[in-house]
Amino acid sequence: MLTFLIRRIIAAVPIIFGVALVVFLLFNVVGGDPAIMMVGKHATAQQMADIRHEYGLDKPLPIQFLNYLKEITTFEFGRSYATRQKISDMIVSGIGPSLSLTLPAFFITTLISVILGLFVAYFRGKLIDRIGVILCVIGMSIPSLAYILFGQYYLAYEMRWFPISGYDYSFPGRFDYLALPIVLWLLLSIGYDVRFYRTAILEETSQDYVRTARAKGMSEPRIFLKHVLKNSMVPIVTNVVLEIPLLILGSFLFETFFGIPGLGSITIDALHNSDFPVIKTMAFIMSLLLIFGNILTDIVYSLVDPRVKLK
């Protein structure tokens, strides 16, 4: 496994370089002059020259790209155009609030979705299964913004069960503000996840080993829990691990509407302010997470299924 991991990391280096090049070109060439974005079209020539010199925009593009590679390899991403803060400090300050939201929501959603997927698959073709599928489709069809507005207006404002928005940095206090976003995250994600896990589990029920177990007189609950669920872990793990890098994206709306000062909120603010360094940094970090998420998926495959060999 160590040899496989080293090879995959080495193979990821040119991919990361290509991603860095594409991100650099998008924000430094295709996206227009960053100096104009900062000071506006009506700035004087001296103001434009000062901004370009301060941020190294007056240097040739190859030199700017080399400086960008230095930034991403040292994790010193420069300063924000809007706030003039160090981007690395902004990321560090935003990680805690983001993880406080995404990790509980992710684990609770995954656990409940796998259990419900196994439950409705066990009753395949029966009324419970049909009702479950219908509810999943309905849940998937409702826009995420509708969940947020419903939760804030009815559950927070009308019923006063939760705070409408805000964040508390103290450890127990923050969950008063995170409870509603976590509940809405669960409602938003569970429809797709249950349908996916149900399909993965039902594909295993048609395999020969299931018919053999039934012929030997093994009970259905034992077949599902001991054999079907275990052999369904490859697609389940694929879905779970590939969702991990997307947790930041999933928190964009929740952090913005609920006033949570996490990475998603920082990115949305950067988009509003045309803050290219922050947007560029977040785009690269997301790409990096996706690349290593794929590597992690292959490794977890070998742990949950002995038939998968790492070569």
Please give the structure tokens belonging to residue 83. 């706030």
Cα 250 from Cα 247, distance rounded (Å)? 5
pLDDT at 306: 59
pLDDT at 224: 78
Please give the structure tokens belonging to residue 223. 């077949």
Please give the structure tokens belonging to residue 31. 């996206």
Considering only CA atoms, give the Rg of the chain. Answer: 24
- Say if CB 203 and CB 147 are below 8 A apart: no
**Which of 205, 243, 206 minimizes the C-alpha distance to 225?**
205
| Overall average pLDDT of the 128-148 stretch | 83
Cα 30 from Cα 32, distance rounded (Å)? 6
> What is residue 81's DSSP assignment?
T
pLDDT at 311: 56
Cα 252 from Cα 263, distance rounded (Å)? 8
34 — pLDDT class (breaks 50, 70, 90): low
CA 109 → CA 54, 117, 248, distances in Å?
46, 12, 16
Q: Which residue has the higher pLDDT, 119 or 3?
A: 119
37 — pLDDT class (breaks 50, 70, 90): low
**Which of 243, 105, 245 minimizes the C-alpha distance to 175?**
105
Q: How far is CA 170 from the centre of its chain?
A: 24
Q: Give the SS3 label for residue 172.
A: coil
pLDDT at 304 > cutoff 70: no
Concatenate the DSSP letters of all residues of 115-134 into one string.
HHHHHHHHTTTSHHHHHHHH
CATH superfamily label, 98-304? MetI-like (1.10.3720.10)
pTM, 2 dp: 0.75
How do the domains of the chain map onto residue ranges? 2-74, 98-304
Q: Which of 11-25, 30-44, 106-120 has the lowest mean pLDDT?
A: 30-44
